[in-house]
Structure 1
Amino acid sequence: MTMLLQGKRLLVTGVLTDKSIAYAAARLAQEQGAEIVLTGFGRGLRVTERVAEKLPRPCDVLEMDVTRPEHIEAVVADLDTRWGMVDGILHAVAFAPKSALGGGFMSASWDDVSTALHISTYSFVALGRAFGPLLAKAGGGSIVGLHFDASQVWSGYDWMGVAKSGLESSCRYLAHAMGGQRTRVNLVAAGPLRTVAASGIGSSFGDFEAVWPTLAPLGWDAADATPVGRTICALWSDWLPQVTGEVIHVDGGAHAVALGTPADAPG
Structure 2
Amino acid sequence: MLLERRTILVTGVLTPSSIAFTCARVAQEQGATVVLTSFGRALATTGRAARKLPVEPAILELDVADQAHLDALAPQIAERFGRLDGVVHAVGYAPAACLGQDDGLFAATWDEVATALQISTWSLPALAKAVLPVLADRSSIVGLDFDATVAWPAYDWMGVAKAGLESASRYLARDLGPQGVRVNLVAAGPLRTVAARSIPGFRQIDAVWQDRAPLGWDVDDPEPAAKAVVALLSDWFPATTGEIVHVDGGVHAVGAAGPS
Task: Give the TM-score band, short-chain normalised.
Answer: over 0.9
Partner residue of 1:156 out of 154, 157, 168? 154
In the alignment, residue 246 of structure 2 is paired with which amino acid? H
CA-CA distance at 1:152 after TM superposition: 0.5
Distance 1:199 1:150 in 2: 19
TM-score (norm 2): 0.97
- Pairing 1:1-267 to 2, within 5 Å after superposition: 3-103=1-101, 104-135=104-135, 138-202=136-200, 204-261=201-258
CA-CA distance at 1:75 after TM superposition: 2.1
Distance 2:123 2:4 in 1: 28
CA-CA distance at 1:120 after TM superposition: 0.2
Moved over 6 A (4+): none
Deviations 1:138-178 (A, max 9, x none): 21300011100000000110000000000000000000010
Distance 2:57 2:84 in 1: 16
Query: In 2, are the aligned partners of 1:217 and 1:262 still within 8 Å (CA)?
Result: no
Distance 1:140 1:181 in 2: 8
Runs of 5+ unmatched residues, structure 1: none
Query: In 2, are the aligned partners of 1:64 and 1:71 still within 8 Å (CA)?
Result: yes
Distance 2:129 2:169 in 1: 12
Query: In 2, are the aligned partners of 1:192 and 1:208 still within 8 Å (CA)?
Result: yes
Deviations 1:101-154 (A, max 9, x none): 11241121000000000000001000111111211xx21300011100000000
Distance 1:107 1:97 in 2: 11
Deviations 1:216-243 (A, max 9, x none): 1111000000000000000010110000
Distance 1:262 1:207 in 2: 21
In the alignment, residue 185 of structure 1 is paired with which amino acid? V
Instruction: Identify the range of structure 1 (160-169 vs 208-217) with the bigger mean alpha-carbon deviation.
Output: 208-217
In the alignment, residue 217 of structure 1 is paired with which amino acid? P
TM-score (norm 1): 0.94
Runs of 5+ unmatched residues, structure 2: none
CA-CA distance at 1:262 after TM superposition: 6.5
Determine helix, strand or coil for the equivalent of 2:245: strand
Deviations 1:156-213 (A, max 9, x none): 10000000000000000000010110100001000000001101212x1111112202
- The number of aligned residues is 258
Query: In 2, are the aligned partners of 1:216 and 1:262 still within 8 Å (CA)?
Result: no
CA-CA distance at 1:21 after TM superposition: 0.8
In the alignment, residue 259 of structure 1 is paired with which amino acid? A
Distance 2:259 2:130 in 1: 45
Determine helix, strand or coil for the equivalent of 1:178: helix
Q: Percent identity?
A: 55
Distance 2:112 2:259 in 1: 38
